[in-house]
């Protein structure tokens, strides 16, 4: 079987209502050199699995369905899909239909024309909820500090990646991958183009605050020592405040104000110092905990089954 020019990798999570329309739209695209679809069902239940299996049976283009044994998360599912994709370029799409496949083809054409390894889709108008838009904005601002990327450059899950960059990234075996951090470690040939973002046609978003926090931790803790440096600066700042408070107490004694008047200041200072210590200890614990899980080889993903159109497995 010849390798296609473009692979569409789509993680599935509770997408029984939406994935059929997405796949049918991709099947109808005219891609020079051919295209394929890789679906990665990330352990969301039998409904999505049944719909995906039916799509494999009725496929008009090559489709690969990879079943995770349980839910591992979006970025883990993307890496699984990349390992099964055969295209010279790979595009990631969400399963809710908000990433138009035609826009993915534009990203692919831009990547070919410019020789870029990664092309991100920059949404002209985002059709997400207010809190998720804020979460995406906050994540991008924080990664300006933590990752080696141009300040203000927009990172999104709608991306086209060359097979070269994919091959470098899929060797990562850690349990908490962050795709954009991995890509920025292997190439500086990145760019973006403005793309359309459609309204979700069915269902509700499964993107929760818990998943967003997990993404933040993967971006900052796994791929940057910036949080440790921030903790060092915070510790120095708190120490300076402690010395200033000590000088204030000495002055209060010198003018006979007495310790009673400074009780509130001292208690507030103790709370600040104790809180800072707990934050720093928690941060160190997060680093150590993730090292522990990596050393003990916590799986990044577990594939239960792989099905391909035409009955191959």
For the chain, helix, strand, coil in percent to 5 are 50, 15, 35
Q: Which residue range is the domain that position 28 belongs to?
A: 6-223+298-308
With CA atoms as reference, report the closest residue to 75 among 219, 204, 203, 185: 219
> Do 220 and 145 form a contact (C-beta atoms < 8 A)?
no
d(CA 179, CA 60): 30
Q: What is the pLDDT of residue 174?
A: 85
Is there a domain that residue 99 lies in? yes
Same structural domain for residues 76 and 40? yes
* E strand spans, the chain: 6-12, 35-41, 63-68, 89-92, 118-123, 159-162, 190-195, 303-308
Same structural domain for residues 205 and 270? no
Same structural domain for residues 141 and 53? yes
Q: What angle do CA 207, 210, 212 make, to 5 degrees?
A: 60
Is there a domain that residue 1 lies in? no
Is there a domain that residue 21 lies in? yes
DSSP result, 102-170: HHHHHHHHHHHHHT-SEEEEEESS--S-HHHHHHHHHHHHHHHHHSSS-TTPPP-S-EEEEHHHHHHHT
Is there a domain that residue 147 lies in? yes
Each of the 313 residues of the chain gets a pLDDT tens digit; together they read 578 999 999 999 999 999 999 999 999 999 999 999 999 999 998 999 999 999 999 999 999 999 999 999 899 999 999 999 999 999 999 998 889 999 999 999 999 999 999 999 988 766 555 656 566 666 666 666 666 666 667 788 899 999 999 999 999 988 888 898 899 889 999 999 999 887 766 656 666 666 666 666 666 666 666 676 677 777 767 767 766 766 776 676 677 665 555 565 666 667 677 767 777 777 777 778 777 667 777 789 999 999 999 644 4
Same structural domain for residues 233 and 219? no
Kindly report the number of other CB atoms within 10 A of residue 205's CB atom: 13
Same structural domain for residues 211 and 281? no
Is there a domain that residue 269 lies in? yes
CATH number for the domain harbouring residue 41: 3.90.550.10
Is there a domain that residue 207 lies in? yes
Residue 224 CA, distance from chain mean position:
15
d(CA 53, CA 51): 6
Same structural domain for residues 18 and 88? yes
Same structural domain for residues 270 and 149? no
Is there a domain that residue 313 lies in? no
Number of domains in the chain: 2
With CA atoms as reference, report the closest residue to 92 among 120, 130, 129: 120
Same structural domain for residues 237 and 272? yes
This prediction has a pTM of 0.75
Same structural domain for residues 257 and 133? no
Same structural domain for residues 63 and 137? yes
Is there a domain that residue 49 lies in? yes
Same structural domain for residues 181 and 282? no
Same structural domain for residues 241 and 215? no
């Amino acid at each position: 079987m010849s390798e296609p020019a473009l692979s569409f990798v789509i993680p599935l999570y509770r997408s029984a209502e939406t994935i059929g329309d997405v796949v049918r739209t991709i099947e109808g695209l005219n891609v020079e050199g051919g295209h394929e679809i890789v679906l990665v069902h990330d352990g969301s239940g039998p409904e999505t699995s049944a719909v995906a299996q039916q799509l494999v049976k009725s496929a008009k283009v090559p489709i690969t369905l990879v079943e995770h044994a349980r839910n591992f998360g979006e970025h883990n599912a993307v890496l699984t899909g990349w390992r099964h994709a055969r295209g010279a370029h790979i595009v990631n799409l969400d399963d809710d239909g908000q990433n138009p496949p035609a826009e993915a083809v534009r990203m692919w054409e831009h990547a070919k024309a410019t020789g870029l390894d990664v092309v991100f889709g920059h949404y002209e108008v985002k059709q997400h909820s207010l809190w998720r838009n804020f979460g995406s904005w906050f994540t991008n601002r924080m990664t300006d500090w933590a990752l080696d990327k141009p300040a203000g450059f927009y990172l999104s899950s709608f991306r086209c990646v060359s097979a070269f960059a994919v091959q470098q990234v899929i060797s990562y075996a850690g349990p908490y991958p962050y795709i954009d951090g991995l890509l920025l470690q292997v190439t500086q040939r990145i760019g973006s183009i403005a793309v359309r973002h459609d309204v979700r046609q069915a269902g509700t978003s499964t993107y929760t605050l818990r998943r967003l926090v997990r993404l933040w931790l993967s971006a900052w803790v796994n791929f940057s020592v910036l949080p440790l440096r921030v903790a060092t600066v915070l510790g120095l700042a708190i120490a300076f405040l402690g010395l200033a408070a000590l000088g204030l107490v000495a002055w209060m004694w010198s003018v006979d104000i007495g310790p009673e008047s400074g009780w509130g200041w001292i208690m507030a200072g103790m709370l600040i110092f104790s809180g800072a210590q707990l934050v720093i200890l928690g941060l160190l614990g997060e680093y150590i905990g993730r090292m522990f899980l990596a050393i003990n080889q916590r799986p990044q993903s577990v594939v239960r089954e792989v099905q391909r159109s035409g009955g191959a497995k």
